[in-house]
Amino acid sequence: MVYLRRSHERGPSDLGWLQSRHTFSFGNYHDPDHRGVSVLRVINDDQVRPGAGFATHSHQDMEIISYVKQGTIKHKDSMGNVEVLPAGEFQLMSAGTGVTHSEYNPSDAEALSFLQIWIQPAELGVAPGYQQKFFGRNKGLTSIVSPDGRDGTLHIHQDAYLYQLRLDRGLTEQHTLDTGRTGYVHVISGSLGVNEHLLEAGDGIGLSDIAVIRFDTQETTEALFFDLP
């Protein structure tokens, strides 16, 4: 099965200080045909103007991943974490029994651009947690998130894996999916061949009942790849 989601089809949101494109149904963008893939519920492509941001708000029973494409996030939460998340870093916040936090663009000149990703946990009511890490800019697939935190990855309360994919012209990569699992790709920049499909920045594709997912490109490309139950 193939689920193809083009960038221009995503739901738009404009709050003045925030411009977003929603891959899946979210907030005021209601789309019954696009509610997520497997346990992946949200991919929001957010751009926050200088000095603005999300005031303190609450979450519960959700695994929330942020990846900064440009600029910096200033994060503060009810667990006592006060952090700065620069471009290239990943953050995973397990909301669990409940957490409040705020996210701001501290710059007075540079826009903040980041991806906000929500994954439904396998277990409700876990203790809230916070993780943050830079994984480098290596070529190929780099493990970012796993259900057991193996090899220094961020630990998620779900049987889900997240990889950062970076390729240059002419490079290829592949990933084998176990039986019954679903792969999902979101292209951050450049263009990417995924099996026989060509994706551009902002595009996404879900694949199931496929043993091997192959990636290739003719330009410098960055993407996220999810291996989902």
**Residue 114: per-residue pLDDT:** 98
- Mean pLDDT, residues 127-149 taken together: 97
Q: Please give the backbone phi and psi of residue 17, each rounded to the nearest 5 degrees, phi first.
A: -80, -15
The mean of the pLDDT values for the chain is 97
**Residue 169 corresponds to which tokens in the numbers above?**
């012209």
pLDDT, one tens digit per residue, over 40-84 is 999 999 999 999 999 999 999 999 999 999 999 999 999 999 999
Domains of the chain by residue range: 2-228
pLDDT, one tens digit per residue, over 12-42 is 999 999 999 999 999 999 999 999 999 999 9
In this structure, CATH architecture of domain 2-228: Sandwich (2.60)
**Residue 143: per-residue pLDDT:** 98
Is residue 142 very low, low, confident or very high in pLDDT (cuts 50, 70, 90)? very high
- Mean pLDDT, residues 86-95 taken together: 98
**Residue 126: per-residue pLDDT:** 97
pLDDT, one tens digit per residue, over 199-210 is 999 999 999 999
Q: In what order do the strands lie in the sheet with 212-216?
A: 172-176, 212-216, 191-194, 197-200
* Contact residues for 178 (Cβ-Cβ < 8 A; gap 6+): none
**Residue 159: per-residue pLDDT:** 98
